[in-house]
Every structure is written in C-alpha cells, then in structure tokens.
Amino acid sequence: MSADGQGMYDLVRRLYPLCRSITGEGLRQTLAILGQETDLELHEVPTGTPVLDWTVPKEWNLRDAYVKDASGRRVIDFQACNLHVVGYSVPVHQTMPLAALRRRLHTLPEHPDWVPYRTSYYQEDWGFCLSQRQLDGLADGDYEVRIDATLADGHLTFAECLVPGQTSEEALISAHACHPSLANDNLAGIAVAVWLAKRLRAASSPARHTYRFLFAPGTIGAITWLALREPLLQRIRHGLVLACAGDPGPLTYKRSRRGDAEIDRVMAHVLTRSGRPHEIAEFSPYGYDERQFCSPGFDLPVGCLSRTPYGRYPEYHTSADNLDLVSPEAMEDTLETCWEVLTVLEANRSYRNLSPKGEPQLGRRGLYGSIGGRSDTEERQLALLWVLNLSDGGHSLLDVAERAELPFALVAEAATRLEAARLLAPTAHSERPGRVPLRQQA
Amino acid sequence: MSADGQGMYDLVRRLYPLCRSITGEGLRQTLAILGQETDLELHEVPTGTPVLDWTVPKEWNLRDAYVKDASGRRVIDFQACNLHVVGYSVPVHQTMPLAALRRRLHTLPEHPDWVPYRTSYYQEDWGFCLSQRQLDGLADGDYEVRIDATLADGHLTFAECLVPGQTSEEALISAHACHPSLANDNLAGIAVAVWLAKRLRAASSPARHTYRFLFAPGTIGAITWLALREPLLQRIRHGLVLACAGDPGPLTYKRSRRGDAEIDRVMAHVLTRSGRPHEIAEFSPYGYDERQFCSPGFDLPVGCLSRTPYGRYPEYHTSADNLDLVSPEAMEDTLETCWEVLTVLEANRSYRNLSPKGEPQLGRRGLYGSIGGRSDTEERQLALLWVLNLSDGGHSLLDVAERAELPFALVAEAATRLEAARLLAPTAHSERPGRVPLRQQA
Amino acid sequence: MSADGQGMYDLVRRLYPLCRSITGEGLRQTLAILGQETDLELHEVPTGTPVLDWTVPKEWNLRDAYVKDASGRRVIDFQACNLHVVGYSVPVHQTMPLAALRRRLHTLPEHPDWVPYRTSYYQEDWGFCLSQRQLDGLADGDYEVRIDATLADGHLTFAECLVPGQTSEEALISAHACHPSLANDNLAGIAVAVWLAKRLRAASSPARHTYRFLFAPGTIGAITWLALREPLLQRIRHGLVLACAGDPGPLTYKRSRRGDAEIDRVMAHVLTRSGRPHEIAEFSPYGYDERQFCSPGFDLPVGCLSRTPYGRYPEYHTSADNLDLVSPEAMEDTLETCWEVLTVLEANRSYRNLSPKGEPQLGRRGLYGSIGGRSDTEERQLALLWVLNLSDGGHSLLDVAERAELPFALVAEAATRLEAARLLAPTAHSERPGRVPLRQQA
C-alpha cells in the first residue's frame, strides 16, 4: 500500500504552494488538480447568493504583496510564503512608518521562526503575518506597503465527486479546501478523501451506498453546499469530515452531535478493535465543518476524523504546518482506517432469521460439525449462532458483533453464509438512486 | 454578607427558648416572630379536621411541669429546659415512688449530660426527659409529679409566605417549625428560609417563579397543608425542604423521589461546581417533610437540603442541639447555596435556535471576533456555539451547561446575548399567576 | 437438609449406569425412575414427526458393543463403560486391522486415562471412544468390531411434571436427560429439578405459579417440546435450565436472552445477597436448552443455572464426570438457591398504595412505634415506608428491595402487613389455570 501513501504525499506536495482562500483562483486551481485525480463536478456560486443565514462573499484574488524597506528590499514577501498576507486583505499601496505598520503585523512570539495564518473574511481589513524574528529585525523608518489584490463580485467554487452505489442512501466525505500553504490542515485530508474516491471507483462492483465527496471552503463552503443541496440531505446516512489527516499523532474521532449514530458506533468499533492508540471525543460545536452539518436544523450523522485534532498541535495554523509535518505513512494509516470503516458501513445490515423458532438444523445444511459432544465453541460457529439469535429485525450486524464480542468481519461472513442457506434475509429495502439537481441558484 | 449570617443567628437565638410543638401557643408565637421579619399569612385549622389519612389533633399547651423530691426541690424542671417534658404529655399531678416513676423517664446513657427530646403525639401518654446524670442522682423515695398541660380542641397553626413572580409556576420552600429548643433542627432551617424570602422580596424585579414558603409543624403540618392546598400542587415546579441548616458539617442534598427532577439536577450542578465538600444522597422515604411531598399520590419534585442530615450527628434530638451547634457562617453558607440554586432555577429555560440551519453568522452581529485563524476556543465564544447547537427545544440551559461542561452562568449569559440578537427564543410560555384559595376547611 | 442432599445423590447413583441417548430404552428407564420419585407424565413422539425446523429421528438402542483382539479379548467393552460407543453408532460387525480402525477411535491425549463422550446423531456413522492409554496398548493386527445396535423407527420420549398453582402463569424448570454415564452433566441437574418438584408438592398450599418440569433429551427434545407446546408458551413467565448442578465449583447463572427478565433480576438479587461466591454471565446462544427457549421466535425468559458451566471443567464430557465429581452438599446448595429464587418469584408482586397522598397514619394501625423523636430507622419500619412510597403500580417488591437496599424477605413481609391493614392491594389479577393439551401430533 506504500504506493497509496506516496501518491497522496505527491498530491499534497503539488497542492502545497497554491494560494488558496475561500474563493478565487487558488481554490479553483486546487479543485482542477483534484479533477485530474478523480472525476469531479465543479460548482460556481455567484457573489451575493443568499445561503442560509449567510451571503456568498466577493471573490478575492491576490497577485502580489510585499513590505519594502527604505532601500527597496522586500522585508516581507508574499512570493516567499503565501501566509504572509492576512487572507482577504483589501488592496493597499502606501508608505508608512514602522510604528503605524506594527498594528497590521501578526506574529507568534512563542515560536519566533514561524509565520502565523490569519484571515479577515467578513470584515474588510488588511495585514501581514511574519515571524517574530523578522519583526525584531525591522528598523524604524518608513516602509512601502503593497497588497495587489482584488475583492470583487465573482464566485465561490466547490467540487463534488459522486461515486454511485446500489442504493440512493448516501455517505458524505468532506474535506475543507480553503487553506493556503498548510499541509496537515487540510491537504492531507483532501488527499485521503481523493484516494477513498479512487478506491471506490476501482471496485469491481458498486458499493451499497452512494458516496459523495465534497471539497469546499470551510464554513461558507459547507453552508453554501447545505443551502444548495438541502433536498438531498435526507439521503445522507453517514458522514465524515476529514481534517488534519497526515501528522504523526494517533487517530482521533470526534462523534457526531447525535453521539450514537451508526458512523459513531462503527468508528468506535474499528478503532477499538484496531489495537492502535486512538482517542474518541464527544461532539462539540467547534472544529471543522461538522459544525455546520451537525447544526440543529440539519443534525446530520457526521463525525470528524483527524490525527491530532484542531488546535492541539503547536504547528496548527502556522508556517510549520508544512510538508515535513505530514508523511505518506500517516496518511496511509488514515486511509486504511477509513476504508475499514467504509467496509463495515457497507456490510452492516439488519437481517431477519427465517427459522426463528428454535435453532435451525445447521448440520443438515453443512454449517455445523457432525460429531457432537466436543466443547467446540470456535468463533465461526459462535458467529452463526449469534447472528441467528439476534436477527429479529431489531439488531444490525454491528449490534451482533458488539454483543457477541466478535470481529465484525466474522459476523458479516456468518450472515452471508446463512443468507446463502436461506436462513436469513435482510430487513431493509433500498432502491436505486435518482439524481437530485442543485437547488436553483440565485 | 456577614450581616445575613448574624441576622439569621439572632433570629435563631430569639426563637430558641419557646416551647414549640405541633400545635399550641409556642408554635403561634414562633410564627408571629417570623411575621415580624417577612410578610406571612397564618392559617388556623380546627382540631378534628380530616386531612388526608389523618385528623388534626387536639391543641396542646403546657404551662409548667416538674418533678419534686420529698424536700420540695424541683429535681426536673420544665422552666430550665423545655425538652424535660415528653411532647404532648397529658396533665398529671400525683406522688409516686422513684421505682414507679422510672418507666416514665427517658435518658441517653451514652451522653450522660444531655437531655433527649421525646414526643407522644398520637397516643395519650406522659413522661419526662432528663440527663442520665440527673437520673443517677435521684434517691429512692416518693416524688411529686406535675404536668400542668391542656390537651383540648383548638387549632393547628401554619404560615405561608408568598412572593409573587412573573408566572404562576411555583417553587416551594418548606421548614418544619414544631421542634422546641433545638437550634439546628430546625430553627436554622427556618432562619435560612426567612432570609431567602427577604432577598426575593428585596429584588428589583419579580422572579420568574412564584415562591411559596411554608412554616408548619412536621408531618401533620405538611399533611394538613397538602390536604388544604391540593388544587395548587400542580403549580409546583420545584421544592426544597430546609432542615439542619446551621451545623458545621458539609452540605447534604437528598434528591426528590423522582431522582432527576430539575431541582435535583440544579442542586447537583451547583454543589459540584462549588468546589465545596458536599454529599448528594438518593431519596429515601424517611427524614423530613419530603416524605409527605414525595408520597406517591403527590410525587412532587421536592428535595431536602441539610448540612449534617437527619440523625447523623450525635446532638440530634438532644439538648446539645443548642445555640453552640449552629453558627452564622454555616447558615450563611446554606443561604448562599440556596440563592445560587434559585438563580439557576430562574434562568433555566429551553430555547429554540431561530437560525438552526448551519451556524448563524455571529460576526456580522458583533458576537464573534473578526480575525479568524486563531485557535480561539475561549469559553464565552464556546458558550454561544453550544447554546445555538443544542437549542432545539429539547435541551434546557442546564442541559447545555452539563454537556458543554461550562458554568451555568456563562451559558445563561450566552442565551441572553443570543436572545437579544434575535437568534434565540424561549420555548415555553407561562401566564401570570392566579390566586388559589385554601380548600374549604371542615 | 442433609436428607435432601443424600436423596439427590442416591438418585444420581441409581441413574448413572443407564445408557441414555436422545431416544431409546435408557432414556425411557431414566424417566420411569424419575416417575417413582414424583408424578410424571410421559410423552412418546414418533420418528418422522416434523418439529420446527427438525424431524424426530429414528430410535436408537444398543445391546452390546466391543472391539476384540486376535485372542478374543474385549479390548474395548461397552459393558464396562457406556461412553465407549459413539452415540447413535449404526450397527457394525467386521474385522479390520488397527490401522483402519484408528480413524473410528476417539481419545483425549491430554487426559490419557479418560474416555471422551462423542455422538453422531444426525449423520449415520459409528465409532468407539477410549482412553489414550488403552489406545497406546493396542498392538497392530486385526480386531473384531461389533456394535449390536438398532436404529429404526420408534419414538422420542420426554416427561413433564406439572405442579398446579393458584394461577395459570407458569414457571418452567428444564433439565436435559439424554447424556449417558455423566454425573454432573446432567444427572445432578435432573436430581435438583426432581427435588424442587417434591418440595412444591409437599407445600401446605399451592404456589402462585404453576410449575412445569421438563425432562427431555437436549436440543431435539427441547425443540420437540417447543413444537408440541407452542400454544402454552405464552403462559411462561419464568424459566430455568438446570445443568452441571453438582460439581464443587461456585454457582453460575447465565441470563436469559432478554437480560433483564424477572428471573434474571431475582437470580442476581438472591446470589448477590447470599454472600456466596458466584458468577453472573450474559446470555450467549451456546450452552444448554436455553438456546432453544431463547431463540428469537420464542424469546422466553429462561436462564441457566449451573455450578461450573458448560465446557469449563476438565472432566466435562468425559468419563471423569462421574460420581466422584458431584456431591450431596453441592446439589443441596444448588437446590437451596433455587428454592430461595422460587420464594422470591412467588412473592414478587406489584402493589398499589391505597392511601397514596401523604403517609398513612401507621401509628393508629399499630404499625409504628408511638414514642416519636428517636432516630429509629430500623429496617422493618423502613421497609413499610419504602413499600408505601414505591407502590404506585410501577414497582414490584423486587424493585423496592433493590432501591431500598433491603432484603427481599423484609420487603415482602412489609407488603403482607400493609395489605392486612388494607393500605395496599396487589395490582395484577390472575385466574386459575386451564388445561392445555399437547398439540396434535403427526
């Protein structure tokens, strides 16, 4: 699987230099590159479109930006690092003394070599971010300040990747795509999502669920998507936000607002059985776009998978969240965990025992050893008995696995054998998906 | 707040010498003194009135009582301590040898200097209580025994103090008022209740709840009140019995029969967050008048707040439960805890998020910092998000505080700010209180 | 009670030599002996009768079996131990070299002196069981093999013992009766069941429940009984499978599939309060006939009481499960525990407090001490108050005992006293049992 890890890392490296924001060309280029990896549908939503309680903002594009000292030397240079400009800074070109400039400058005194990441999306403002050491090196005197940006009517861009399944029941995988040169937050999450889409497309037969991948700017992108896709939301059975998916820390799953949604239980089952160190955190209305998906008016069953989560690693939202922080191995570990979760979600059905009175005679169906008397409690046989015993329509295979304390795969295999022997039938019925168009845009 | 502590202690000291019982002049004088502190309404219920399964008993009044030795010296003297006479003793005047008298005498051998407190309300009887040391000092021989009491048709007296609120939803605060010279049980509870009434009356605007304070004799008084007030009971949303409120022990809250009534949860929240040592005990049908309020036919949400509870301190129901056992500081601590509980009860509402789909844009309403990107998870901002996320009509602010692990006050403040920003509206609707007359008496 | 222990042990000793199987004369003789101890009704179900997913098999009878060496010596002799023949072996008479015979021989290499117990009920086959030491002593050469058995149309036999109660609500006690010379599994369980039936019959008045004892072959017997008795199953309120009831290990109770059936809660209450070491295990669809009773189409409230359970002692299903493994004392301990459980089941009712508003005046009914003021919280008085407080129709006496943390017997006594004082009335109403005939047989 090392090829997957390397492939994801290469994608991260390719996307890293682009100057992304919640709108603009950097975001558009990012989505175009993703479209080279997997089939994507791009959507452009015009500035001014009302979306839930919000409005799609003006589009921001930045060509160049710098602060020059009296000698004309660029002491802060956007070309060197796109974090140097406060996101959504309005155009400015003026000369001002250091004393006046200072209040526009953001640093991280506790990490004197790192450049912080700052934005001001919804209040027109401008500023620069730089390392404390850079700031300390600035002499008094006048500086030429230039931000060559446009903030004008345009569009907000997002992309969806739809992998059709056997049913219209959907699983949503979402990764925010608005951050500039920050590798873990969230190029790693984007890469894992793309690789999941590739694997699903590469499968020999369609999955039971239809998978919808969303690459959109954080907050406003999720809100825009929710507004436009509202008629479709009732199809969503499970959802996962991928963020900070590539750092060396152990996996952390944050439950959905519901706390016991199927995705929550599957994630806990997979992580607990994996033997890997991990953390399972309760929902809180802070973090990534699960905030929007789990708002009370939607309350979608969407959790968030990270390695080290939101704000809990020192490099978070700084220039140190770079290509050194993420690794092919960590992204691959995240990918494999997601894949295992998808495998369980796919197989997790409720069944009805078609011979529920007493045990059916497994022996005559070749499902049971014929020599009795041995204390033969081996797991495969136990799995058959557990599935039969709990298949009353009210228990899913995951319920069976948890109550029986057996691996899910063994329980799912037992269900398959029993279904083949006509002793079991799935309870739910799902139809083929129809196509839901984007809601009419303003 | 030391003035409150001293004021309560002064009231206890003033009430201490009176010879209270479940009826009679001592009880009437006690309620009259309380009426000087706060507005009270007195009720007199005639002997013979059927009240639930009981009947209002005869009124008992005691003028004098003694045991004199052969020399005429009062070896037991009611004037010295009103615990010396078994409560509700019938009149007696006779001379008898010590041997015969002994079976009428109650002592506490394990505390040879203390006089026990005993009563015989519902079986006509008489007796004296004295210290073991006193008993040991009695020589054989004849003694003149005199109990100058009347037990005759009269009334049972109780008092209510009503502090009207904005709604007819009531909170009941009850303190039994029948014990003679016992300071902790229950003059301290009475004093704390009176001071709560004073504070509520002194508030600049009426509380949301109407507060009803009840000062009545234990058991029969509560039963009489329940019988007469039955039509009103449906208004009671919360209730608290105050007993043993002034000793130096840590606070103990005994849950209502329901176990998870709002008062139970608020009390647990306040005590747990207070950092003070405390105990939270499950309901049991033994103790104070919560026994009556929580009987299955009423099942009112009434808990009991004590310091050291019922029967768990050695001085309990003895002459050692005196003015030394209680302190201004302990009563003040009880008072402040109650006040904090009332504050939470007042503010604990359920709200509905008026912009429940996605997060509302807090920034444009001045509720959110405009510079994004910082890992700014400070509590006030979190409180806003939690209140928005859980305000689906099914969660109270206390639910929010508990799930968010935030102080209630912060959550309540967030709700106030969000309501002001028209993002939140309370779910429940309450009307102004009407007046419920006492049930027609027999 | 030592007489009971000795009586049970004598019964086990008497039954031990018989060659039982799931059908045949050994089973019939066993049930005939039980019929000498208590009143039994025998049922014979013909071969070929469809029962649920199964069919009643042919009847198997074994007259003799041996393996003789070249000298004519019986090196394996059924007359010495009936475990030597694989249960349901088809007739065979041939001479074969040891090399060919070997694959028909079952041993326990880890216990070289023990003979294993093996069967092949549903696949026609034959074989011998012997100790590893016996096998090791066999020289190469030819052996005469003889199994003088018949496998032919006949009947499956089971027996019921019905002890009528005041109501038609039934408790089922089941013990499998198909194992040959194995003492703990399950002659001990059979003996305890017989003694329970004796005690119930010997009682001065009928129990509230009707008790139905079932002695049937494992699996197919339970399935046959379920098929024939299906109309009656709705009457079953509680059930207990008795198995491995005589070994020296501590008691183990395995919960019913429901997990919180009344039998589960009573068993846990009795075992926990007993102070004896014990284990309470969750349900699993493996073990004894609770597998059938708890299949999802029936889901009867049937648990299983053992000492050392199924497959967890080394002697399990070997010749070492003999008369030395079981003791009068262990069986008596199992019997007394069952009896205590039956006592609780009999008394466990829900009541309604007929004076639910406030406490009724217990003193005037002689249920309460008349001298008040003592911190008299003794258990009998507390039990009265708890029963009154929780008798709202929604709590059984067991609920009261558990919430009050009082012994059940004390709570039941309080209910009896309160019912006598007309303060309590049972909520449920049950009629006299009717007679349900066996379902029409094929």
8 Å CB contact of A284 and B404 = yes
Instruction: Give the whole-angstrom CA distance, residue B196 versus residue C102.
Output: 92
- Rounded Cα gap, residues A287 and A90, in angstroms: 27
DSSP A271-310: HHHH-S-EEEE---S-SSTHHHHTSTTT---EEEEESS-T
Provide the angle, in degrees to the nearest 10, between the axes of the packed helices C328-347 and C262-274.
Answer: 130
- Interface B–C counts its CB contacts (< 8 A) at 92
Q: Do A296 and B377 touch (CB under 8 A)?
A: no
Mean pLDDT across B45-69: 98
B257–C389 C-beta distance less than 8 A? yes
Q: Which amino acid is at A197?
A: A
Contact A327, A335 (CB under 8 A): no
Q: Which chains are within 8 Å of C by 3+ CB pairs?
A: A, B
B365 vs A: CB within 8 A: no
Cβ–Cβ contacts within 10 Å for residue A429, how many? 6
Dist CA B185 CA B308 (whole Å): 10
Instruction: Give pLDDT, residue B371.
Output: 52
Tokens of C290: 């609770």
How much is the average pLDDT of A339-348?
A: 98
How many angstroms away from the CA of B380 is the closest CA of chain A? 13
Q: CA–CA separation, C418 vs C425, rounded Å?
A: 9
Q: Can you give the pLDDT of all 442 residues of chain C as single tens digits?
A: 479 999 999 999 999 999 999 999 999 999 999 999 999 999 999 999 999 999 999 999 999 999 999 999 999 999 999 999 999 999 999 999 999 999 999 999 999 999 999 999 999 999 999 999 999 999 999 999 999 999 999 999 999 999 999 999 999 999 999 999 999 999 999 999 999 999 999 999 999 999 999 999 999 999 999 999 999 999 999 999 999 999 999 999 999 999 999 999 999 999 999 999 999 999 999 999 999 999 999 999 999 999 999 999 999 999 999 999 999 999 999 999 999 999 999 999 999 999 999 999 998 998 876 555 554 458 899 999 999 999 999 999 999 999 999 999 999 999 999 999 999 999 965 433 344 445 544 3
> Over 60: is that where the pLDDT of A213 sits?
yes
| Tens of pLDDT, residues B83-114 | 999 999 999 999 999 999 999 999 999 999 99
Q: pLDDT tier at A183 (50, 70, 90 boundaries)?
A: very high
Measured between CA atoms, the residue of chain B closest to residue C374 is: B118
C341: number of CA atoms within 13 Å, CB side? 26
Q: Is a pLDDT exceeding 70 seen at residue A250?
A: yes
Q: Which are the contacts of C104, defined by CB distance < 8 A and separation ≥ 6? A: C126, C127, C128, C145
Q: Which residues of C touch B295 (CB under 8 A)?
A: 356-359, 388-389
Chain C residue with Cα closest to B256: C389
Residue % of chain B over a pLDDT of 90: 92
Residues of C whose CB is below 8 A from B310:
375
User: Would you call A143 an interface residue with chain C, using a CB distance cutoff of 8 Å?
Assistant: no
- Find, among B140, B149, B138, B141, the residue nearest to B74 by Cα: B138
The verdict on B285 touching C (C-beta cutoff 8 Å) is: yes
Residue A178 distance to chain B (closest CA, Å): 12
B391 touches chain A (CB under 8 A): yes
| A14-23, A296-305, A364-373, C348-357: range with lowest mean pLDDT | A364-373
Query: What is the reported pLDDT for B433?
Result: 38
Closest residue in B to C366 (Cα–Cα): B123
Taking residues B195-207, report their average pLDDT.
97
Q: How many inter-chain contacts (A to C, CB under 8 Å) are there?
A: 91
Tell which residue, B96, B133, B112, has the closest CA to residue B104: B96
- How far apart (Å, rounded) are the C-alpha atoms in residues A205 and C1? 70
**C351 CB within 8 Å of a chain A CB:** no
Among A21, A53, A223, A289, the strongest candidate for a mutation testing the B interface, having the largest count of B CBs within 10 A, is: A53
Which residue of chain B has the CA closest to C379?
Answer: B286
CA gap B424, B127 in Å, rounded: 65
d(CA B177, CA B32): 12
Q: Determine which of C350, C351, C361, C388 to mutate to test the interface with B (most B C-beta atoms within 10 Å).
A: C361
* Minimal CA separation from A263 to chain C, in Å: 26
pLDDT at B432: 39
What one-character-per-residue DSSP string does A124-159 give? -B--EE--HHHHHTPPSSEEEEEEEEEEES-EEEEE
Contacts across the A-B interface (CB distance below 8 Å): 91
* Residue B368 confidence (pLDDT): 77
Determine the pLDDT at residue A93: 98
In chain A, positions 253-272, which contact chain B (CB-CB < 8 Å)?
A: 257
Show the tokens assigned to B378. 């400070």
Q: What ipTM does the predicted assembly reach?
A: 0.93
Residue A277's pLDDT band, with cuts at 50, 70 and 90, is very high
Model-level pTM?
0.91
- The Cα A247–Cα C240 span in angstroms is 56
Q: Report yes or no: B36 at the A interface, CB cutoff 8 Å.
A: no
Task: For residue A369, list its beta bridge partners.
Answer: none
* Angstroms from A223 CA to nearest CA on chain B: 6
Q: Which residues of A touch C316 (CB under 8 A)?
A: 375
- Binary contact (B54, C390; C-beta < 8 A): no
| pLDDT level of residue A432 (50, 70, 90 thresholds) | very low
Q: Which amino acid is at B295?
A: S
Displacement of CA C17 from its chain's centroid (Å): 20
Distance CA B283, CA B293 (A): 12
Which of B120, B219, B297 lies nearest to residue C356, judging by beta carbons? B297
User: Is C311 touching A (CB cutoff 8 A)?
Assistant: yes
The pLDDT of A258-266, averaged and rounded, is 98
Point out the residue among A118, A223, A286 whose CB comes nearest to the CB of B385: A286
**β pairing state of C251-254 and C278-281:** parallel
Close Cβ partners of B117 (under 8 Å, ≥ 6 residues apart)? B83, B87, B129, B179, B180, B182, B317, B318, B319, C373
- CB of B234 less than 8 A from some CB of C: no
CB proximity A120 to B under 8 Å: yes
Split at pLDDT 50, 70, 90, the class of B204 is: very high
Indicate yes or no: CB of B355 within 8 angstroms of CB of A53: yes
- Which chains touch A (3+ CB pairs under 8 A)? B, C
Amino acid at A387: V
Distances (CA, A) of C336 to A10, C172, C184, C208, C331: 73, 17, 17, 19, 9
Q: How many helical (H) and strand (E) elements, i.e. helices and strands, does chain C have?
A: 12, 19
A294 to chain B: which residues are within 8 Å by CB?
389
pLDDT of residue C186: 97
What pLDDT score does A60 carry?
98
pLDDT in tens, A371-386: 555 544 588 899 999 9
DSSP string, B297-325: TT---EEEEESS-TT-STTTTBTTSSTTT
Reported as type and span, the H/E element at residue C241 is strand C236-242
Does pLDDT of A364 surpass 70? yes
pLDDT, tens digit (0-9, with 9 covering 90-100), for A104-117:
999 999 999 999 99
* Kind and range of the H or E run holding B414: helix B408-420
Q: What is the pLDDT of residue A368?
A: 77
Following DSSP, what letter does each residue of C331-345 receive, concatenated? HHHHHHHHHHHHHHH
| Chain C residues near residue B53 by CB distance under 8 angstroms | 355, 357-361
- Cβ distance B353 to A296 less than 8 Å, yes or no, reads yes
Report pLDDT for B434: 42
Asked whether C7 and C331 are in contact (CB, 8 A), the reply is no
Nearest Cα residue in chain B from A52: B357
Of the candidates B54, B298, B316, the beta carbon closest to that of C361 is on: B54
Chain C residue numbers with beta carbons less than 8 Å from the beta carbon of A370 are: 120, 122-123, 125
What secondary structure letter does DSSP report for B186?
A: I
Q: What is the rounded radius of gyration, in angstroms, for the C-alpha atoms of chain A?
A: 26
Sign of the alpha-carbon dihedral angle for A407, A413, A417, A420: positive
Who has greater pLDDT, B355 or A366? B355
Using 50, 70 and 90 to split pLDDT, how confident is the model at A370? low
Calculate the average pLDDT of chain A: 94
**Residue B388 contacts A, CB cutoff 8 Å:** yes
